Amino acid sequence: MRSFSAVFFALIALLSLTLLGGVFVGAYELAPAELWLALTGQSTDLQQFLVWQVRIPRLLLALLVGAALATTGAATQGLFRNPLAEPTLIGVTSGAMLFAAAAMVLSFRFLAAAPAWLQQGAVSVAAFCGALVTTGLVYRLASGRGRVNVATMLLAGIAIAALTSAGTGLLIYQSSEQQLRDLTFWTLGSLGGARWGQVLGAGPIILAGVYFLHRDALALNAFLLGEREAAQLGFRVQRVKRRVIIWTALVVGTCISLTGIIGFVGLVIPHLLRIWQGTDYRRLLLFSALLGGSFLLVADTLARTIVAPAELPIGILTALVGAPFFLWLLLRERGKNALL
């Protein structure tokens, strides 16, 4: 077991490197000297705008969203005691999807004359509400007599996801070509719309979420033994479950509302760290945040550079980069002690 601080600083270094790389690389190429001038406000307005208003907020949003998705992924896997668990399973994603689709289709009818930012805003707000509403519903379905049954919640989440995807399908059936295209791109995610407003809006929620989930690290460790065992170790398990679910819904709802659905981060990053660093949640949550941030930053940098000046949806990149690496890791670990 490597020491905590060594890994921590390695991940911080990785994050700094990816941040630096992200500022450099882009459709509009900047020489190091130009970048320095732009950063210090001594270059042309265009370059300054590009660096300060486009690139940097986008990098920060990628970092925040990556951290959020990886941390909540790790937390839900612990809560559900299931390696396949993801925030998707508690209804966050499916609900956001349904509401976002509804907003896209309906805004075309009722907000057709409205400016683009209002239409975009309507989709974001709808997605956020959808995430919270469906999670709330799944939570209610799984709770009775003051207890939440996580196994029921898992199954209820799957049932609700099927229902909402039927609703989404109905909306797709109704939608125009353009809406269908928008919707498809939305499900593949994009950080293209990132501005300071989003960073400043999402930042506090995501950072608070990561902080509060990290505060429940010991309880999540105890949950690995089972709920009853966690209670016998002195935890108030019902409160822990409620906190984890609420923060997950809030944080993931925020992310989805700003970037659409970005898959795979919540699954691959925590498992990667488990294989490398072990499961102890005191390390896992923090490291997931750092590595998830770096990972999404790299994926987004690739997304906006490989087909520049166009952009690939980031969901394609996260799967394309993440899946083979994850498979390689699994195959490498297959012969060793059963780890997963």
CA distances from 339 to 108, 271, 272, 284, 287 (A): 50, 10, 11, 15, 18
Q: Smallest gap, in angstroms, from Cβ of residue 1 to another protein?
A: 6
Does 204 participate in binding another protein (rule CB under 8 A)? Answer: no
Does 144 participate in binding another protein (rule CB under 8 A)? Answer: no
Q: Smallest gap, in angstroms, from Cβ of residue 338 to another protein?
A: 7
Selected from 34, 39, 52, 82, the binder of another protein by CB under 8 A is 82
Does 224 participate in binding another protein (rule CB under 8 A)? Answer: yes
User: Which residues from 227-256 bind another protein, rule CB under 8 A?
Assistant: 228-229, 231-236
Calpha distance 313→229 (Å, rounded): 43
User: In this structure, are residues 69 and 296 in contact, taking their beta carbons and an 8 Å threshold?
Assistant: yes
301, 303, 305, 308 alpha-carbon torsion, rounded to 10°: -150
Selected from 43, 107, 279, 288, the binder of another protein by CB under 8 A is 279
Question: If 0-12 CB within 10 Å is exposed, 13-18 middle and 19+ buried, where does residue 175 land?
Answer: middle
Q: Smallest gap, in angstroms, from Cβ of residue 308 to another protein?
A: 40
Selected from 111, 155, 218, 320, the binder of another protein by CB under 8 A is 218
Q: Smallest gap, in angstroms, from Cβ of residue 241 to another protein?
A: 14
Q: Smallest gap, in angstroms, from Cβ of residue 227 to another protein?
A: 10
- Six-digit token pair at 286? 């923090």
Report which of 245, 217, 296, 327 is spatially closest to residue 18, judged by C-alpha positions.
296
Q: How many residues bind another protein (CB under 8 A)?
A: 28
Shorter beta-carbon distance to another protein: residue 116 or 338: 338
Task: Report the amino acid identity of residue 209.
Answer: G
CA distances from 261 to 8, 89, 94, 229, 337 (A): 28, 14, 10, 35, 34
User: In this structure, are residues 251 and 244 in contact, taking their beta carbons and an 8 Å threshold?
Assistant: no
Does 288 participate in binding another protein (rule CB under 8 A)? Answer: no
Selected from 222, 255, 261, 299, the binder of another protein by CB under 8 A is 222
List of residues contacting another protein (CB under 8 A): 1, 77-78, 81-83, 218, 221-222, 224-226, 228-229, 231-236, 274, 278-280, 337-340
